[in-house]
């Protein structure tokens, strides 16, 4: 499919942490945006945030994204879709009911709506996760887009409710992404659009969606806040993963439309590895933030790394925000909120 440089884009779950930055990045690029939210109340804050864009930003209510035909009306008249809405929490008891089924139905449902009613749609971008890429390995490993998480779905199938919280989440992301690619393969002779999947690791940074308290932050941002503001053990400070700033991720979603060659691709968007001590070192010098043992993370052996060369090659993302920038801007955001 050709690159999409103008027109209207539907963003699902528009009031979410990542989605709100996707909306902003699209508006800044000149696109019109139709943001899907679960209720009028959920969208009220977005109307204020994006008021300066006048009629280029509109809202549509989709109460239940897992319901059949939920997006049938929302997809009409849009040129592209950014599907970011998917459950992400670590409190699920029944993984099938609370995570897997909603994730799959929401993803396949919006693709089904695009197939049936999205006559103008040229590209669909789905926000997946590196949770669908990584597996727990005994030795350090660098993962790429060729890797799939086979472990988590297998463990959940075998253990059900007894599987760990993170395994349940990883299974939901893996199965939802596989369902998206399977749908495209099954209907390739019928669809007039192509699919791009973006796979980020941990996502940190300031928020622009409504968050009244730190407890209202999404899972990754709340963990980030907790690690910087509450005491932790040396073992926790020396654990970690990989990360990306939410603003860079928002930009990646726009580039996934602007770059013709992104069509049909699965793309990891990662700034690099971290251990939590690195973030304590990067945090502003303030009594509010933990110090740990400064510099103790410099020699850490990172169990997980991602090859982000495809994001550079296909999306042109050759530079990412630094830890210092993300920590500084996150702290400024918390300060402005009175936290």
Summarised one tens digit per residue, pLDDT across range 265-299 is 999 999 999 999 999 999 999 999 999 999 999 98
pLDDT at 78 over 80: yes
The fold of 8-204+244-270+305-321 is Rossmann fold (3.40.50)
pLDDT cut 90: percent of the chain above it: 88
> Taking 70 as the threshold, does the pLDDT of residue 88 lie above it?
no
pLDDT of residue 223 exceeding 80: yes
Buried b (16+ CB within 10 A) or exposed e, 36-50: bbbeeebbebbeebb
pLDDT tens-digit readout, 42-77 = 999 999 999 999 899 999 999 998 899 999 999 999
**pLDDT at residue 210, rounded to an integer:** 87
Tally Cβ neighbours within 10 Å of residue 334.
20
Domain edges within the chain:
8-204+244-270+305-321
Per-residue model confidence (pLDDT) at position 141: 97
- Mean pLDDT to the nearest integer, 149-160: 95
Catalytic positions = 173
210 by Cβ neighbours in 10 Å (0-12 / 13-18 / 19+) ranks as middle
Q: What is the pLDDT of residue 87?
A: 62
Q: What pLDDT does 85 receive?
A: 80
Report pLDDT for 96.
81
């Amino acid at each position: 499919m050709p690159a999409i440089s103008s027109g209207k884009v539907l963003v699902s779950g528009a009031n979410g942490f990542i989605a709100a930055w996707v909306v902003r990045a699209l508006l800044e690029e000149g696109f019109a945006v139709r943001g899907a939210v679960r209720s009028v109340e959920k969208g009220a804050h977005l109307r204020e945030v994006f008021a300066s864009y006048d009629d280029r930003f509109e809202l549509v209510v989709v109460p239940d994204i897992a319901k059949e035909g939920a997006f049938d009306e929302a997809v009409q008249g849009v040129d592209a879709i950014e599907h970011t809405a998917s459950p992400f929490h670590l409190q699920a008891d029944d993984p099938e009911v609370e995570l897997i089924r909603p994730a799959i139905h929401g993803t396949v449902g919006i693709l089904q709506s695009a197939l049936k009613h999205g006559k103008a749609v040229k590209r669909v971008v789905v926000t997946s996760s590196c949770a669908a890429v990584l597996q727990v390995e005994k030795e350090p490993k660098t993962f790429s887009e060729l890797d799939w998480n086979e472990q988590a779905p297998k463990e959940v199938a075998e253990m059900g409710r007894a599987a760990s919280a993170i395994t349940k989440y990883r299974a939901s992301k893996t199965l939802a992404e596989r369902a998206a690619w399977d749908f495209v393969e099954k209907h390739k002779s019928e669809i007039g659009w192509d699919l791009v999947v973006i796979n980020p690791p941990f996502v940190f940074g300031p928020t622009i969606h409504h968050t009244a308290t730190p407890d209202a932050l999404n899972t990754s941002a709340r963990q980030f806040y907790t690690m910087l503001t509450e005491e932790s053990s040396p073992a926790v400070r020396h654990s970690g993963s990989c990360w990306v700033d939410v603003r860079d991720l928002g930009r990646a979603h726009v580039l996934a439309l602007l770059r013709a060659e992104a069509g049909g691709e699965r793309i990891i968007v990662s700034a690099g590895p971290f251990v939590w001590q690195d973030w304590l070192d990067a945090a502003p010098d303030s009594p509010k933030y933990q110090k740990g043992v400064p510099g103790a993370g410099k020699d850490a052996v990172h169990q997980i790394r991602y090859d982000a060369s495809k994001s550079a090659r296909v999306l042109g993302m050759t530079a990412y925000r630094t830890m210092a920038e993300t920590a500084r801007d996150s702290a400024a955001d918390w300060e402005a909120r009175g936290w």
